[in-house]
Amino acid sequence: MHIVHAASELHPFSKTGGLADMVGALTQALARAGHQVDVVTPLYRGIRARHPGLKPAQWRFDIPLGSALVSGEFWKLEPEPNLTLWFVDQPEFFDRAGIYNERNVDYPDNAARFCFFAKAAVLLTRHLPNPVQVLQCHDWQAGLVPMLVREAHDSGKWHVAPKTLLTIHNLAYQGWFPAAAFGFTNLPSSWFYRESAEAYQQLNCLKAGLNLSDALSTVSPRYAREICTTEFGCGLDPLLRRREHELIGILNGVDYDEWNTIHNPALKHAYDVSHPAGKAANKAELQKELGLPIDAVVPLFTNITRLTDQKGADLQLAALEQVLATGEKLQFGLLGSGDPVLEAGYRALALLHPERIAVRIGFDPQLAHRLEAGADFYLMPSRFEPCGLNQLYSLRYGTIPVVRATGGLDDSVVDVRESAETATGIKFSEPTSEALAHAIRKAIALYAVPELHAHYRTNGMLADFSWERQARHYVSLYENLIHGA
């Protein structure tokens, strides 16, 4: 099977979140399973310098973008058999300090930038030497691709067009622009209205893809159900309910080559489910690194996050304050950044409780591994979470996740109330600091029973969320899409 992925981020070349991890790992797993896979993504600043194997593909092109004609070219990398990466080089659009914004301010020309990217993705797919069966588009940045493919097919310019699959990583981000931005597509205005790229007299790139792709997917089964409701549908739930029979949720996987506890340069002590002693040693190392007292008896909680309402960072801050006020014995380490008010709140809590709370503002990939490996519990109090990855990393690292039962968190963590035999974590339902504080106290009580704590930990470390396994679900979806099942 020949599959093309169009994505605005691709690990390890560019990343702002889980989208990059998913596309990088899934395409690699598909290629290793014997499928021919091409990925098209923008050539952002710094990629060439960090990846010297990248070479010009000798493929220059001009793309109409409204009244302008914009030039670009493809650069190419073949990191392993069956996998080819194509980078769209257009310096005016992509050679910038950020991917979508700078200092939390979106680039004002994002509509033009990602319409150009969508057109380049379609151009590549049309002219690859071997016919493409499936073109998988990721999030709003590639949301115009299904419309461009449909128009090319309907107008007779593309007789055997691939099936299109739009994958929703986070429905909250939809690509809203003024209606005039539709002019960058160079399509007749009838496509704006008839095919419903329009929403409230504006262009909605994600809505265009939701309407015109041949199938829809998202990154966990529960999130697929949630986005069909008013609460989680972000205004698009009527459309999603209409296409509910064509929407499937497939949980993201984990790249266990990167997220492992045996051959990991970020960790001083190797360990696994059969040799768990190294985890305790990593905990002591982490406590020392964070400036916390080295104490095996006190449970250590960690969190690596964007400090935003979606991630429940405000709930977590309030819950920690509540638990600490009652004298409960715990330690907590945070790595993250975001809302300045929340950053200040966490810093203040650390100053008030220096032997209990450690805060690192920013992001450090190596420290992220140590926070996962050294912790006893990992907190994820998200208000919504399409999939989530850190709870999956935590399970493999023997760190028990404490999560809100939403989206992929609910799909991937087993609470004792669901199965005492296979329990891997602690869930709470209400998005309140009180509910989270209660869950933290349950974790503290669990830690006080070593045999039960070890039972949870062992179950989590044995769970299989490999991309090899999850990729098979995508292959089945592709086959059904191609054969019309």
Extract the residue ranges of the chain whose pLDDT is less than 70.
Answer: 194-195, 485
In a domain, 269, yes or no: no
Q: What is the pLDDT of residue 194?
A: 63
Sheet of 202-204, strand order: 176-178, 202-204, 198-199
Same domain, 351 and 216: no
CB 332 within 8 A of CB 360: no
Token pair for 355: 């032997």
Distance CA 198, CA 178 (A): 10
Q: What is the pLDDT of residue 193?
A: 82
Distance CA 252, CA 22 (A): 7
Same domain, 91 and 189: yes
Same domain, 315 and 448: yes
Q: What is the pLDDT of residue 195?
A: 64
In a domain, 262, yes or no: no
* Total structural domains within the chain: 2
Distance CA 118, CA 125 (A): 11
Distance CA 206, CA 174 (A): 5
In a domain, 94, yes or no: yes
Q: What is the pLDDT of residue 227?
A: 97
Beta strands in 124-250 (DSSP E): 134-138, 163-168, 176-178, 198-199, 202-204, 215-218, 247-249
Q: Residue 276's Cα: distance from chain center in Å?
A: 29
Residue 88's beta-bridge partner residues?
Answer: 42, 74
Token pair for 143: 């949301």
What backbone phi and psi angles, to 5 degrees, belong to 5? -110, 130
Q: In what helix (H) or strand (E) does residue 192 lie, and over which residues does it extend?
A: helix 189-194
Same domain, 216 and 306: no
Token pair for 150: 């449909």
Distance CA 165, CA 437 (A): 40
In a domain, 390, yes or no: yes
CB 444 within 8 A of CB 320: no
Which CATH number covers residue 423?
Answer: 3.40.50.2000
Same domain, 349 and 288: yes
CB 293 within 8 A of CB 355: yes
Distance CA 221, CA 268 (A): 36
Nearest Cα neighbor of 162 from 137, 143, 135 is 135
Range of the domain at 332: 277-465
Same domain, 236 and 293: no
Q: What is the pLDDT of residue 248?
A: 97
Tell me the Cα Rg of the chain: 23
Same domain, 344 and 220: no
What backbone phi and psi angles, to 5 degrees, belong to 70? -110, 130
Distance CA 307, CA 319 (A): 15
Same domain, 227 and 345: no
Same domain, 134 and 116: yes
In a domain, 271, yes or no: no
Same domain, 441 and 476: no
Same domain, 212 and 359: no
Q: What is the pLDDT of residue 485?
A: 57
Distance CA 20, CA 16 (A): 7
In a domain, 10, yes or no: yes
Q: What is the pLDDT of residue 196?
A: 78
In a domain, 267, yes or no: no
CB 43 within 8 A of CB 176: no
In a domain, 265, yes or no: no
Same domain, 296 and 355: yes
Nearest Cα neighbor of 26 from 224, 172, 169 is 169
Q: What is the pTM of this model?
A: 0.92
- Assess whether the previous peptide bond of 450 is cis (omega < 30° from 0): no
